[in-house]
Amino acid sequence: MGSRFLGGRRIAPPAITPGMTAADLIDTTFMAYNSARLREAARLLTERCLEEDVTVGVTLTGALTPAGLGLSSLIPLIEAGFIDWIISTGANLYHDAHFGLGLSLHAGSPHANDVVLREEGVVRIYDILFDYRVLLETDAFFRRIIEEEEFQRPMGSAEFHYLCGKYLAERERQTGSRTRCLLSAAYEFGVPVYTSSPGDSSIGMNIAAKQLEGSRLTIDPGTDVNETASIVLSAKRSGGKSAVVIFGGGSPKNFALQTEPQIQEVLGISEKGHDYFLQVTDARPDTGGLSGATPSEAVSWGKVDPEQLPNAVVCYCDSTIALPLLTAYALTRHAPRKPKRLYDRRGEMMDLLRREYAAAQAAGTDSD
């Protein structure tokens, strides 16, 4: 009788042929090491996360949008109904706005002389180069729109980004831009976009500058904490599941995963954790940082349902490699989904969270 450990798929891939699709390449030749983890991630995404009853949250860290991944990957996923809500660094949203404003970024060399670049007014993000005026024009756009009356109040980052997306979509329409940006696509499809550190980007810096002039706009992180928790709770209470798809790590990863401790630990509402966990990262787990923390560690915090731990994949890979491949795979292997338009349902989901919190508080009082 053979060993139970030898029941896996035999490693005997077919030869790669001209014209092979990315999805076929992943399925047939990604056999071991992190290529196998990427294949597992692709299948987890298409076979479980993209079922109709699953709410998919995506987190973004690292300079992904300046590399064009908003255009090539994230916007097509939104248009296919494969992303329901987003948590991103502010930098990704700011730099993606360059595309909606028709500003250009260029491929370059990571070995360029930075002193010379500075003298010539060129900014470098590793091997991405652009004119310093790109920053100034983008700053001017954000400063101009947040002068509008609808911005003159405290709000959560999802509402703020929705309003920004409205103005960016109109700018794209007026200019006939050949490129669009993530916020305008999210606005069109009702995808709420949050940032976990609203002051940690050029968008936040410009909000702060306008406050010196008397602007009443502030981004309220408490609103974001409760709204994101309500998205997860609503997904579960409707009989569905919650999936987190993490590119990188950092603060957006924690902000997505802390929704479950917020529900269970802080609000006292009975819940088990996210159902599906998919992460692409280059961070090691042994340094103790959140970016490298494994899904099994997340179980100990209540962030991931322990019964669903087999439905968790970590692929140690550069997101700029993995995200386009996962996008190509998902668009090839899964039909589009109807957009959930969670932005339009924020009030309804917050009402659910308030009711369950009140019930948990009352139950706790009764048991005292």
Main-chain phi, psi angles of 177, to 5 degrees: -55, 140
How many angstroms separate the Cα of 197 from the Cα of each of 26, 120, 244, 299?
Answer: 35, 32, 19, 25
First to last CA, the chain: 59
Measure the CA angle with vertex 338, ends 336 and 343; round to 5°: 125
Supply the angle between the helices 319-333 and 22-29 in degrees, to the nearest 10. Answer: 100
Residue 288 vs residues 99, 294, 329, 334, 360: alpha-carbon distances, Å: 36, 10, 32, 36, 33
- Phi-psi label, residue 324: left if phi above 0, alpha if psi -120 to 50, beta otherwise: alpha
- The DSSP secondary structure of 218-269, one letter per residue, reads EE-HHHHHHHHHHHHHHHHHTT-EEEEEEES-HHHHHHHHTHHHIIIIIS--
- Residues assigned a catalytic role: 303
